[in-house]
Amino acid sequence: MKIVCLFLAMFLCASCVHQGGQSAGTVDSLSLTVTKRYLNLPVSQQVERSEMQFLLNGKTERTFAIRLAANPEYWTFCDISPFMGQTLTIRYSDNAGGLREIYQGDTINGQSGLYRERHRPQFHFTTRRGWNNDPNGLVYYDGEYHLFYQHNPYEREWENMHWGHAVSRDLVHWEELPVALYPDTLGMMFSGSAVVDFDNTSGFGATGQPPMVAAYTAASPAGQVQCIAYSLDKGRTWAKYSGNPVIDSGSEWNTHDTRDPKVFRHAASGQWVMVLNECDGHSIYTSPNLLRWTYRSHVTGFWECPDLFELPVNNNPVDTRWVLYGASASYMIGAFDGNTFTPQQGKYCYTSGALYAAQTLNDTPDGRRIQIGWGRIQQPGMPFNMMMLLPTELTLSTTPNGIRLFSYPVKEVDNLQEEGIQRRLLSVEAANELLKSYPNAGSLRIKTTFQLSHATSAGLKLDGQDIINYDLNFNRLNGNFYSPPEMTSMALTADILIDLTSIEVFIDGGAFSYAMERTPLNTTGFRFWSSHPIEVKNLEIYPMKSIWK
């Protein structure tokens, strides 16, 4: 409920203050004494964005673009607890009506229905309000997995990049924490990564706590530069390094595209390594202390969001390869000596569809290489947009085509399964009869193997949408060329994870996967189909528990 009276010292100075350097002619403002944790902000996609400023004692604390609206379509919020007890002046360069609707509260607008909104994914991370894209700063430390992410707190579309933050103890239940990094004079907070500096090479950990150190891109019209921030309280609050930027390479590459530093500790060479996308590929930099970086080498053919990691082949710890990775999930397999990546095989792709800009976690306690990808999935009509896809474990296996990257949901996802049903050796008709008990799907995990008897095609639909469409004549699976690891196989195994707005499909143990938006064309429910008789060798159906309380 709106509590207008909470504006203890509020005054509204409508359409009168003119401000130098602003494009809009008028600036409106209000002042209030901060007494509550949140400032609730009314927004609408129907109005233009304008600039909002927060000032404390005449000093600008925050500046961002927002579509403030007197008739809001939905509400976003910002955490103003750091300003508690102080007089906050809010300036807005347009649309005075919206200013009057802003109010403070101990809860966010819509708190009571949070995580139960109509299209809220039930077992995937989504942000409470606003927009998310890439996962950032994925790192494990002291019992917590950290998920930072590209975030616009003020609107359901991309703008104002901040680093949002959530933590999890089990990779599936997430708790959203306050924003970690706010835009500053160097620019918006674009993608990056985080490490724990256990040996305090950076010197930030003067208190005896190993600092958590983030490397991120600050992006402004002047260019994209790489910066460092650190936290001494497990990622809850962050300070930016006074020597930022630590890399400013745009003029060397004659481009604005230098971004998304992924940093990790390279034990063999005893140094920090950064993979950074610059211009036409991924560069490698090294550092003794996370602050002084030296350019070492470059591999062309990648765009955005690099990653570089070592994996055993077929689980054999003495036979390893390095994987160089780009935002689209294309990768090369090769060797890495601490300074240079030498491709030996590639490029390949193990997934297609909604996944983009995925990153792997640093410092997992059991050494698993766990990846989380941005799910480019629309959340129609919601006060939030986009999502994270399920964490998957990446492995390397030998196939008849060579070594390939496999991706499969982490075992922790199994804990979300309710008791289900398991059946074997079914006809299409019998399988469809069983699936009739799940008319509106909700959130489900379905595992199935079906055997094609006589090429050419078979599949599974949900409400007219192709979950699986396998054409063994053209070897196409949902539009992608697919060659099974066992190349003469006539069977297909699928692990299907259906949430309210998304579907993820992992084929043949993770040899290939794809993610898509749920776009029902009708209400016909699940349907196996085939051009010639098939046998459903296995069908397991598990309702999935919600991760939200």
Question: Which residues are annotated as catalytic?
Answer: 134
Beta-strand pair 491-498/502-507: antiparallel
Reduced to 3 states, what is the DSSP secondary structure of residue 176?
A: strand
Give whichever of 124 and 447 is closer to ligand FRU, judged by the CB atom: 124
Q: In this chain, which of 197, 260, 499, 508 binds ligand FRU, going by CB under 6 A?
A: 260
CB 538 within 8 A of CB 420: no
Is residue 150 close enough to count as binding ligand FRU by CB under 6 A?
yes
The whole-angstrom separation of Cα 447 and Cα 326 is: 29
Neighbours of 383 (CB within 10 A): 24
Q: What is the DSSP string of 408-450?
A: EE-GGGGGGBPS-EEEEEE-HHHHHHHHTT-TT--SEEEEEEE
Is residue 354 close enough to count as binding ligand FRU by CB under 6 A?
no
Is residue 159 close enough to count as binding ligand FRU by CB under 6 A?
no
Three-state SS annotation for 293-310: CEEEEEEECCCCCCEEEE
Give whichever of 61 and 304 is closer to ligand FRU, judged by the CB atom: 304
How many chain residues touch ligand FRU (CB under 6 A)? 13
Minimum distance from residue 304 beta carbon to ligand FRU (Å): 4
Counting beta carbons within 10 angstroms of the beta carbon of residue 23, is it exposed (0 to 12), middle (13 to 18) or buried (19 or more)?
Answer: exposed
Strand partners, 220: 223
Minimum distance from residue 327 beta carbon to ligand FRU (Å): 6
Minimum distance from residue 190 beta carbon to ligand FRU (Å): 3
Minimum distance from residue 297 beta carbon to ligand FRU (Å): 21
Phi, psi of 414 (to 5 degrees): -60, -30
Give whichever of 191 and 538 is closer to ligand FRU, judged by the CB atom: 191
The whole-angstrom separation of Cα 512 and Cα 534 is: 22
Residue pointed to by tokens 């300070």: 239
Minimum distance from residue 286 beta carbon to ligand FRU (Å): 22
Reduced to 3 states, what is the DSSP secondary structure of residue 64?
A: strand
| Interface positions, 200-229, toward ligand FRU (CB under 6 A) | 217
| Interface positions, 162-201, toward ligand FRU (CB under 6 A) | 190-191
| Interface positions, 291-320, toward ligand FRU (CB under 6 A) | 304-305
CB 487 within 8 A of CB 402: no
- Cα–Cα distances (Å) from 12 to 27, 48, 63, 89, 388, in that order, read 11, 21, 19, 10, 40
Minimum distance from residue 322 beta carbon to ligand FRU (Å): 22
What secondary structure letter does DSSP report for 544? B
Is residue 278 close enough to count as binding ligand FRU by CB under 6 A?
no
Q: In this chain, which of 171, 181, 195, 357 binds ligand FRU, going by CB under 6 A?
A: 357
CB 402 within 8 A of CB 388: no
The whole-angstrom separation of Cα 105 and Cα 10 is: 15
CB 334 within 8 A of CB 111: no
Q: What is the DSSP string of 359-397?
A: EEPBS-TT---EEEEEE----TT-SEE-EEPPPEEEEEE
Minimum distance from residue 260 beta carbon to ligand FRU (Å): 5
Is residue 259 close enough to count as binding ligand FRU by CB under 6 A?
yes
Give whichever of 249 and 395 is closer to ligand FRU, judged by the CB atom: 249
Is residue 34 close enough to count as binding ligand FRU by CB under 6 A?
no
Give whichever of 139 and 219 is closer to ligand FRU, judged by the CB atom: 219
Beta-strand pair 38-43/74-79: antiparallel
Q: In this chain, which of 122, 133, 193, 201 binds ligand FRU, going by CB under 6 A?
A: 133
Give whichever of 190 and 341 is closer to ligand FRU, judged by the CB atom: 190
Is residue 134 close enough to count as binding ligand FRU by CB under 6 A?
yes
Residue pointed to by tokens 């030498």: 342
Give whichever of 151 and 321 is closer to ligand FRU, judged by the CB atom: 151
Minimum distance from residue 182 beta carbon to ligand FRU (Å): 15
- H helices of 82-238, in order, are 96-101
Residues near 291 by Cβ (< 8 Å), separated by ≥ 6? 202, 228, 241, 243, 246
Give whichever of 276 and 458 is closer to ligand FRU, judged by the CB atom: 276
Interface with ligand FRU by CB under 6 A: which residues?
133-134, 150, 161, 190-191, 217, 259-260, 304-305, 327, 357
